[in-house]
Chains A and B, each alone.
Chain A
Amino acid sequence: MKVKGKQALIENVSGYLFLLPSLLGFAIFFLFPVLFSLFLSLSKWNLSAGFSDLKFIGIENFKTILSDVWFTDSMKNSLIFTAATVIAGVSISLVLAVILNKMVYFKNPLRVMIFLPYISSAVAVAIVWSIILQPTYGPVNQFLRSLGIQNLPNWLADVQWALPALIGMYIWQNMGYNIVVFMAGLTAINSDLYEAAVIDGAGALSKFFKITVPMVSPTTFFLVIMGIINSFKVFDQVQVLTQGGPGTSTTVLALYIYREAFQFYDMGLASAAAWAMFVIIFIVTVIQWIGQKRWVTYD
């Protein structure tokens, strides 16, 4: 009995010793920040003013952001950005993954080529795109002009085209990841299913919609959830390419938060906006989680 007690003590002590570095980092850089940011979101505080000026104001910050057109516009932009990148990104990737998985030669080199944008840094890629999309002498517009198209968009400097251009670039950059994950999911599908379908006379299209789509749905579910979370947090590309402009046209949530915090030093408002972002991600994820029973097939 005594030995057992000593043993348990050793286990407890060594457990916490092993965990100590991670626990310290976790407490300082995750747990405390989360709690403190919750507190800040309910306070009025400008960084330049010092702590004596911190005032508890309840949900006032949330009321302020809801009536701030920069916030509501950034919310709208983030929702459009997320919906477009997730829906288009995931469905295009699924089709390409199916083709890449079974129906081509040189599968591996092709996969590496498609994965290249994903592995490259967002900043380098964004810089390249900003030059390629340059309105007057960028290669894209020069190419379109050579086809005789008039009134070309100014892309990133265009109120109407900046967000679509960002969406296109983001889909392009993340497609490789989606395809690689889909391919892993596809190899897990039992090939007997396809053979049985062929015997029943199913064509390529009905095989795709009746077998591939439902059987790969756990992977789709994962990609949709991760895609929503990541698209909602998009920052690098936008900061490098447009800084949210022109006007509010590409101001997304993460950019709004960054600007409130580190350009206007309004830490309370920034924290409130960050929590609003979390709540939306959380709600969407929960809805997906509940909704998955309707369309995700687990065997």
Chain B
Amino acid sequence: MIKKKGTLSKQNILKILATIGLSLIALTMTLPFLWMLSASFKVEVDVFKFPVEWIPRKWNIINNYMEVWSGRYSFPLFYFNSIKVTVLTTIVQVTVSAMGAYAFSKIRFKFRDALFLIYLSMMMIPDQVTIVPKFLVLKWLSLFDTHRGLILLGSFSVYGMFLLKQYMMTIPDSLSESARIDGAGHAKTFLKIILPMTKPALVTLMMLKFVWTWNDFQNPLVFIQSEELYTIQLGMTKFMTEYNSFYSLIMVAAVCSIIPLLIVFLIGQRYILEGMTMGAVKG
């Protein structure tokens, strides 16, 4: 009895030590963020003071944030562009993917499996291979340098359809078949039965797609030219090159660009982590 108690406390000490060690690592991982946040609160001359003033001695938070949002740097426009592109891409992508996933999992049509295989094989091909022809296609369709083009490009991903299809496969066919026997068409079965049951996967895809589109840098860089169409990621690199003596303001922009991601992540942590780890564990 005594011995058991002894080993237990030894384990506890180990656990406390491990917690301290890992907390230190986690803290180092977040240090760049803390630095960014504190720099965004400071007056410019204090940004590079050493030792670092983690808690600013002189607060300039309202001035900094007002300045960035005042419209002098078109930052609000870039922000709005990003919201527009991200929300629309997410909506179109989830709709298209859900319809495709339904077809692949619940309808028996000709060449279904062959088509699906072709889809899957495209997942292996890196973006770099298709980027030049995509550029040409957008030019031909006069969609180059438009938000519509950017949204369309982002809306078709094999990954999203694959994720939803895998989920719909787990819904027993008997459910959709009995609905069909009762006279419901595919449209009704899809909307009334399958879609509500796929909700967790839909939410996962929505959140992942939101994060990915918001963070996308390469597509806007290649397919957008006019400054008034810039998304936040492009806008920030422009800030960086043009106002590189105003680090506190650049840090305000960086903080603001991360906030929507944090909100989405905190709301949907479970869904996002599930979506990202799906398929990883079972091989």
Q: Quick check: B108 and A15 within 8 Å, CB to CB? A: yes
Q: Which of A14, A185, A253 contacts B280 (CB 8 A)?
A: A185
Beta-carbon contact of B281 and A275 below 8 Å: no
**Interface size on B (CB < 8 Å)?**
92
The reply to whether the CB of A180 lies closer than 8 angstroms to some CB of chain B is yes
**B238 CB to nearest A CB, Å:** 11
Task: Determine the main DSSP class of B at the interface with A.
Answer: helix
Give CA–CA (A83, B135) in the complex, Å: 31
Closest residue of A by beta carbon distance from B100: A22
In the bound assembly, the distance between CA atoms of A29 and B26 in angstroms comes to 40
| Smallest beta-carbon distance A147→chain B, Å | 12
A11-B107, A110-B23, A181-B277 known; A235 vs B129 contact (CB < 8 Å) = no
- Please tell me if A162 contacts chain B, counting CB pairs below 8 Å: no
Tell whether B112 is near chain A: CB-to-CB under 8 Å: yes
Asked if residues B280 and A123 are in contact (CB atoms below 8 Å), the reply is: no
**B283 in contact (CB, < 8 A):** yes
Interface bin, chain A: 35 or more
Contact B128 A274 (CB under 8 A): yes
- Given A15-B108, A29-B134, A232–B126 Cβ distance below 8 Å? yes
- Chain B residues contacting A33 (CB-CB under 8 Å) are 129-130, 132-134, 137
The A/B interface has a contact count, at CB < 8 Å, of 268
Contact (Cβ within 8 A) A18 B107: yes
Given the known interface contacts A18-B186, A34-B125, A277-B129, the answer about A240 and B237 at a Cβ–Cβ threshold of 8 Å is: yes
When distances are taken between beta carbons in the complex, the residues of chain B under 8 Å from A23 are 100, 115
Which 9 A-B pairs rank lowest in CB-CB distance, beginning with the nearest? A15-B109, A25-B156, A33-B133, A22-B100, A33-B130, A18-B103, A121-B215, A142-B50, A15-B107
Chain B contacts to A: CB under 8 angstroms: 14-16, 18-19, 21-23, 25-27, 29-30, 32-33, 35-36, 39, 48, 50-52, 95-97, 99-100, 102-104, 107-110, 112, 115, 118-119, 122, 124-137, 152-153, 155-156, 158, 161, 185-186, 190, 211, 214-215, 217-218, 221-222, 233, 236-237, 240, 247, 250-251, 254, 257-258, 261-262, 265, 269, 272-273, 276-277, 279-283
